[in-house]
Amino acid sequence: MTRAKIKLTSKVTQKYQATIPQAVREKLAIEKGDRIIFEIEDEKVVLKKVSPVDWEYLESVAATLGEWSSEADEEAYSDL
């Protein structure tokens, strides 16, 4: 089964900015304020939407990680 290839263009401004074409925004469900990531693979670049991060959850989890930063742990894992 062959996939259709769609080619879209966008002009780069003096500040090296480019508009993401509407078809791409719709395909990736990109909205104002969303973050995107550029992955370089050999001779091509892949654009992906970054999943939203639950910062409140991550901050609450980070508070529990202090048990892993003792002097004993630093000494035990210093040669890794």
Q: Which range of residues forms the domain containing residue 31?
A: 22-77
Is 12 inside any structural domain? no
- In total, how many domains does the chain have? 1
Is 1 inside any structural domain? no
- Residue-wise pLDDT for 26-75, tens only, equals 999 999 999 999 999 999 999 999 888 888 888 888 878 777 677 887 78
Q: Torsion-angle region of residue 33: left (phi > 0), alpha (psi -120 to 50) or beta?
A: left
Is 58 inside any structural domain? yes
5/2: higher pLDDT? 5
- Tokens at 10, concatenated: 């966008």
Any alpha helices (H) in 1-79, and if so which ranges?
22-28, 55-62, 71-77
Is 27 inside any structural domain? yes
The residue length of the chain stands at: 80
Is 54 inside any structural domain? yes
Is 6 inside any structural domain? no
Scan for tokens 């469900």, then name that residue.
29
Is 8 inside any structural domain? no
- What is the Cα–Cα distance from 60 to 34, expressed in whole angstroms? 23
- What is the Cα–Cα distance from 68 to 31, expressed in whole angstroms? 38
User: Which amino acid would we find at residue 28?
Assistant: L
Q: What is the pTM of this model?
A: 0.61
